[in-house]
A and B are shown apart, each in its own frame.
Chain A
């Protein structure tokens, strides 16, 4: 086998290998992108859930409601001036 033929063989193998490499990396890219978008979706869903929970918390902690609950259900009251003691350093 002459050097020419050897070179041709090597180059042909290289071409085929790089072609397969392109296909493979393209496949990898798609796989990775799918994984990425799944994770992003997951993140968005969690963010949305977080927003919903914040909204729920804000609704529960609405000042008017807190005041009602504190006053009626657990009998809290605002300290009157006589109940407050001022300490001077």
Chain B
């Protein structure tokens, strides 16, 4: 009974209560430890398992022409990727996947098993979203789709050189895509999400950084003039059997590039099959000896020196002149006594040399430099060349003479168009730009009076006596200059390889367009700038003047042509200029 007498419900209650209380205190202490003391650590661990920061994809800006027509557009595509660790647990699904992706089974197996310890491998990139949806709907474990953007160029090879292209990761590789890559590229954003064990997004928690889509870029290029130039250059190349060619059209008052075309071209929408030859933007990355088009600048120096006026007489008989070193420079034929204007009209080499003999080398060099030769034009186009213009202290008497008519230096077609645009722009040289409204102030390089005189002289080149009658545009006054240069090859000049050049301005009373045409190695009997390049100028400008609504400045010529057409029935033959080529005449 003594044991029983010891029994006290109160004591037992105390013991039980004490044990339970101790448990409670331990639990509270543990909870406090978790919640208060190590809270940060556990919070981090939890977040690390479920919270993820994922990037927000953003698209590259669109490139449009000056009228807002899209030239380069990024469109979403899906890239199929796999997690090899997951995929390899289901080898039975591989054949179905291979056939859906349209790649051989062994190639797929190899690609996945090579990266068996990794968690990511691209299976196929840039698929049409519909096809990609079909693949993900197969429900193969470890196969996912990821949105990416691909660049499309609706105008293909017409615009290829100017725009350039991007690589598979949408980064600009060439052309303006490269030059304006930072502007066009968007900034990826990021957001915080909660994901479950399988990587599915349960909830969007927060926006960490908003995505900035790439900015659009409006070019100064006019799609219609560009196409016209492309079509006509291509026709000319086919007609003359020439190997390559470039056309540059500048807006004279602003220096904006309205069109820039090169041939051969390539299709920027397909990444294979284009060789480096056809990818070059020859209008800025290739140089040519300009030939007679340089005479204009030589005459500009002559007028500025005050030793000549437009009407000064220069004796060019007997049609050839000896240079020190035994070279002999010939004219096409003996022109006898010419005025300074006549030297340009007839393109007399002898005349140009005689004029340059009266000038100092420094003044000549200074004039060429002021017109932007021998230096990059400032267009910002990647890979643009400065051309070669030797310094005057390296000129011997031979160089001084040959440079005066365009040999012994080299220029890009863009430089030529720019220099002539300055003549047409009252002596103000502009920096060419590819961006709409991106024109600078320009610099005055010659007196406006001299520029005006030069324009008058250049108009005679298109006239009945001139070398470029085929450049005429009915209803408009045209100024321009032809050039034909033999191409340098292997230390000398090749016998039958020529570059046919024409640079023109229209309408001459108040020039709107400056256009340079350079065609390499025309094969026909007629290989000169007046026969090969001037017709391209005529056809492109005929269309461009109409497209841009430029009022004719020579309506009398128009009326005369119409009166003549009425008189000569049934079929009218236009006088000097060839009749307009009907649309649809392109191959």
Contacts and interface: CB of A to CB of B under 8 A. Distances in A.
Interface of A: 30, 33-34, 37, 47-48, 51-52, 54-55, 57-59, 61-64, 67-68, 70-72, 76-78, 80-82, 86, 88
30 contacts: A30-B203, A47-B59, A48-B59, A48-B76, A51-B75, A54-B62, A54-B70, A54-B73, A57-B70, A58-B70, A61-B69, A62-B154, A62-B155, A67-B584, A67-B586, A70-B584, A71-B583, A77-B582, A78-B580, A80-B579, A80-B580, A81-B474, A81-B565, A81-B572, A81-B579, A81-B580, A82-B562, A82-B565, A82-B572, A88-B555
Interface residues of B, number: 42
A87 B194 CA distance: 73
Given A58-B155, A59-B154, A88-B555, A70 B73 contact: no
B142 interface: no
Contact of A63 (B204, B224, B561): B224
A70 B154 contact: no
B154 A55 contact: yes
Contacts of A72: 584
A64 B205 contact: no
A64 to B, nearest CB: 7
B476 to A, nearest CB: 12
Q: Chain A interface mostly helix, strand, loop or mixed?
A: helix
Given A55-B70, A81-B562, A33 B75 contact: no
A36 to B, nearest CB: 8
Interface of B: 59, 62, 69-71, 73-76, 152, 154-156, 158, 191, 203-207, 223-224, 227, 231, 474-475, 552, 555, 558-559, 561-562, 565, 572, 574, 579-584, 586
B75 A64 contact: no
A63 B158 contact: yes
Closest 9 CB pairs of A and B: A71-B584, A58-B154, A63-B227, A78-B583, A55-B73, A78-B582, A59-B154, A58-B70, A37-B204
Contacts of A37: 191, 204, 207
Nearest to A54: B70
A71 B204 CA distance: 56
A33 B224 contact: no
Contacts, number: 89
B555 A86 contact: yes
Contacts of B76: 48
Nearest to A55: B73
Contacts of A51: 59, 62, 73-75
B75 A52 contact: yes
Given A70-B583, A77-B584, 7 more contacts: A58-B71, A59-B154, A61-B69, A62-B156, A63-B223, A64-B227, A86-B555
